[in-house]
Amino acid sequence: MSITALNSLDAGTIVQLILRGFQRHYTLFQALTQEVAEHFSKGRWQGIQKVSMARISCYDERVAETTQLLRKRMPTDDLDEALWRQVRLSYQQCLQFHPQAELAETFYNSVFCRLFERRYFNNDYIFVASTLADAIPLPLESEFRSYFPVVDGIANSLRKIIADSGLSNAFLDLTDDIKRLREAFMGRTLEADLAAHELRIDVLKAPFYRNKAAYIVGRIVTANRVYPVIVPILRRQDGQLFLDALITDAAQMAIIFGFARSYFFVDTRAPSALVRFLKQLMPNKTLAELYAAIGFHKQGKTEFYRQFLQHLQSTDELVVNAPGTKGLVMSVFTLPSFPYVFKVINDRFGHSKQIDRDTVIKRYRMVKQHDRVGRMADTLEFTDVAIPKQRFAPELLAELQQHAAMSLCYEDDLVVIRQLFVERRMIPLNVYLSYASQEDICAVMNDYGQALKDMLAANIFPGDMLLKNFGVTRQRRVVFYDYDEVRYLTDMQFRDIPEAQDDHQRYADEPWYTVGPDDVFPQQLATFALTDSNLRELFRANHAELLSAAYWQQQQQDIRAGQVADVFPYPQTLRFKRDA
């Protein structure tokens, strides 16, 4: 029996069912943003963390609902090719003036790919390439407001910006904060004496929320250049707000929107316009990174995959092993001119790894849902990724077949990877230290210790703290990227190594004291992770407390008491100075 035999499930009906599923998703998605705004106004930081976790699964839940609804009304799992070509065409026509058209395309793809086999995942049935490239773009002005100091004066324009942000709390001293803003801008720009008639200020309509801050994002336009602007707004314990800093540097803005941070919450009706605005301020950011940064991580995956396919077509390079020490759990490879690494779970891990495949997957997804505090790389998870066999270096394909055969299958001239994790490529920390200058070594070793502290404050125990499991970004920030041993900090038992009572204990090959499965001895960090004595001394000079169980135990106590640590995504030197 053909699907077309059911009058109730013609192409138009299918299109409307999928569109309604998407609209339900988007409505709920935006409602979560409004919930976060309320949590911010009340200082309910743990509430923001819970909503952040819930939002990650929101998309898959709505796709599952829509898929289930269609399956109930489809008499067969077989694809009616003529029908679904018509569905795709009709769906495309419905998106011509849709304010979230690109997201609706991705939602359609997700539903279709759950319904049918991988062999139908081509442009006849899904949107492998977006149809929106030639469509009339949504106006950027739909997402920002412009302010004209020549009319209102600079101070009043800044007051209007704050008033229009929708932040309901009273400010501690807005007049003083605006004075600080003006002084900071004049002190950092090449145009120190700008008059009111010499600039325009464009500001995105809605604040960006993340962790314990709200951010006003925009730009200052002068005759000579455009300055990106971010103003973080923090909340005191008494509920009053204050402006904390002014960021006008594009590189620093890129760090705030970086791949190692949690996703923002921002109310937007036209995401494509908002992303285009952001890309003007951060031209080195990809569409994939920007969509992910504002919470549309599924759209980020779609944009990434299109970017990858385009890159494959633009080069004859082979996919090769990624630089760095080979791991036991993952096989890691890369395309040299493409700034990402691809990770496939090995079939066997070796005796030292007391985990299985499902545990590895759960831990990678755990980090996805958690506050990454700028120290843990975002991971894109894909299934059934097809790459032409000829694009693999022969030695890499042989290694994958030897170590990760369960994750591979072959279709004609394609290698299909059943489950693939993708991360931004960084220089492994141990590799970086092998050639860096002494000044850079000091800086990144200090940042390695700070990375550990930031993760602990976020209730993350990295597990394997070897230098090879951390990377160095373009901004020389140390970021963790190997999650197979990640646990919640509060699940662990931190102990100091008991003092040996005699030479037999002192020189024993094995620990003479009991060691439980969740026991951790921070003193061993210096022994096993920092085998080089020079690195060990650099670490001790700035982070000696990390070698004591007491520090880790205190972090656990703070977390259990409901404390949410302040982790600033911008340098402390940029924060406005205030009287104590």
Question: What would the pLDDT profile of 418-439 be if each residue is shown by its tens digit?
Answer: 999 999 999 999 999 999 999 9
At 3, the pLDDT band (50, 70, 90 cuts) reads very low
Instruction: Tell me the β-bridge partners of 231.
Output: 216
DSSP string, 451-464: HHHHHHHTTEE-S-
- Write out pLDDT tens, residues 326-383: 989 999 999 999 999 999 999 999 888 889 999 999 999 999 989 899 999 999 999 9
On whether 468 is known to bind a ligand per the annotation, the reply is no
Q: What is the pLDDT of residue 187?
A: 79
> What mean pLDDT is reported for the chain?
92
- Least-confidence region, from 133-142, 163-172, 361-370: 133-142
On whether 300 is known to bind a ligand per the annotation, the reply is no
Q: What is the pLDDT of residue 526?
A: 84
Query: Taking 90 as the threshold, does the pLDDT of residue 170 lie above it?
Result: yes
At 1, the pLDDT band (50, 70, 90 cuts) reads very low
CB atoms within 10 A of CB 221: 15
Q: What is the pLDDT of residue 580?
A: 56
Query: Taking 70 as the threshold, does the pLDDT of residue 191 lie above it?
Result: no
415/380 Cα distance (integer angstroms): 19
Percent of the chain past pLDDT 90, that is, above it, reads: 79
On whether 328 is known to bind a ligand per the annotation, the reply is yes
CB atoms within 10 A of CB 368: 20
- Least-confidence region, from 92-106, 173-187, 469-483, 493-507: 493-507
At 512, the pLDDT band (50, 70, 90 cuts) reads confident
On the 0-12 / 13-18 / 19+ scale of CB atoms within 10 A, 277 is buried
- Least-confidence region, from 215-224, 227-236, 497-506: 497-506
On whether 323 is known to bind a ligand per the annotation, the reply is yes
Q: What is the pLDDT of residue 295?
A: 95
Contacts with 445 (C-beta within 8 Å, 6 or more apart), sequence order? 433, 535, 538, 539, 542
Q: How far is CA 486 from CA 165, 184, 329, 477, in A?
A: 38, 40, 13, 20
Q: What is the pLDDT of residue 190?
A: 63
On whether 324 is known to bind a ligand per the annotation, the reply is yes
Q: What is the mean pLDDT of residues 519-536?
A: 91
Q: What is the pLDDT of residue 4?
A: 41
Total length of the chain:
580
At 2, the pLDDT band (50, 70, 90 cuts) reads very low
Amino acid at site 63: V
Q: Please tell me the pTM assigned to this model.
A: 0.93
DSSP string, 132-174: -TTSPPPPGGGTEEEE-HHHH-HHHHHHHHHHHTT--SPBS-H
**3 state SS of 239:** coil
The catalytic site residues sit at 378
Check: CB of residue 128 under 8 Å from CB of residue 112.
no
SS (H, E, C) 373-429: CCCECCCEEEEEEEEEHHHECHHHHHHHHHHCHHHEEEECCEEEEEEEEEEECCEEH
Q: Which two tokens stand for residue 514?
A: 């009991």
Check: CB of residue 25 under 8 Å from CB of residue 107.
yes
Query: Taking 50 as the threshold, does the pLDDT of residue 240 lie above it?
Result: yes
On whether 322 is known to bind a ligand per the annotation, the reply is yes
On whether 166 is known to bind a ligand per the annotation, the reply is no
- Write out pLDDT tens, residues 51-75: 999 999 999 999 999 999 999 888 7
Q: What is the pLDDT of residue 192?
A: 63
**3 state SS of 227:** strand
**3 state SS of 561:** coil
Contacts with 576 (C-beta within 8 Å, 6 or more apart), sequence order? 177, 180, 184, 243, 244, 245, 246
169/236 Cα distance (integer angstroms): 10
On whether 374 is known to bind a ligand per the annotation, the reply is no
- Write out pLDDT tens, residues 443-464: 999 999 999 999 999 999 999 8
At 415, the pLDDT band (50, 70, 90 cuts) reads very high
Phi then psi for 141, rounded to 5 degrees? -65, -15
At 136, the pLDDT band (50, 70, 90 cuts) reads confident
Check: CB of residue 113 under 8 Å from CB of residue 121.
yes
Q: What is the mean pLDDT of residues 216-244?
A: 95
